[in-house]
Amino acid sequence: MEQFLEQKSVATCANFPTGRWSALPGRTSIESCTQCELGKYGIKDGAVSEAFCIECPPFSDSTVLGANTTADCVCSRGSYWVPWLKSCSPCINPGITCPGGIASSGDHAPPQSVKGWYMVSLATAQRCKHQLPDGRSVCRGGCTVKRDNHCCSEWHRGPFCSACEPGCARDNPAEACPGCSRVWATGRL
């Protein structure tokens, strides 16, 4: 196989970038060369066979045809990026979901909590104990370990959404925070 991969291309695709290949000589345009399929990326300019398109690393897929580097491979749905391993890992812990792909920030999309769970580390969530009067959890879900502002229901904040917003109080710490007036912030009624 190594000897095969070292062959020189006789096709004009030799002038085209990694991520495309052709076993047929006489190709004259980039469109006439075949792109590596989704889930694979090219490893050599002027490839003469699909063997130069190799699978993305485990738990990842390329998002474009003709991918030409492992950087074009992103974590697939159901997996997440582990920075210290520089690879994708399966999303197996309870209380989380892994959308895969790239977030709007341009980074790998991180795991998120599901409704009723609170993220405690990159890929670990714990069940929330507090519930609203209608039985819904105070933990909204869809939160990352960075704890975005939308993690907790109204009037709740802090770890596991168990604390009340400043100026709110409750008689029983096991209950949800009641609706509170924001009057305290101005000091006027």
Number of Cβ atoms within 10 Å of the Cβ of 156:
22
Whether 44 shows a pLDDT value over 60: the answer reads: yes
> What pLDDT does residue 29 have?
62
Whether 95 shows a pLDDT value over 70: the answer reads: yes
The structure tokens 């892994």 sit at: 98
Whether 97 shows a pLDDT value over 60: the answer reads: yes
Q: Percent of the chain beyond pLDDT 70?
A: 81
Average of pLDDT values for 164-184? Answer: 73
| Distance separating alpha carbons of residues 94 and 170, to the nearest angstrom | 30
Please give the radius of gyration of the chain, using alpha carbons only, rounded to the nearest integer: 26
Q: Where are the domains of the chain?
A: 1-70, 76-189
* pLDDT level of residue 98 (50, 70, 90 thresholds): very high
| Distance separating alpha carbons of residues 23 and 49, to the nearest angstrom | 6
* Model confidence pLDDT, tens digit, residues 104-129: 888 899 999 999 999 999 999 999 98
pTM, entire model: 0.73
Whether 26 shows a pLDDT value over 90: the answer reads: no
Main-chain phi, psi angles of 31, to 5 degrees: -65, -25
Return the ∠ at Cα 53 (arms to 28 and 55), rounded to 5°. 155
Whether 146 shows a pLDDT value over 90: the answer reads: no
Cα-Cα-Cα-Cα torsion 126, 131, 136, 141, nearest 10 degrees, comes to -30
Whether 74 shows a pLDDT value over 60: the answer reads: yes
Separate counts of helices (H) and strands (E) for the chain: 1, 14
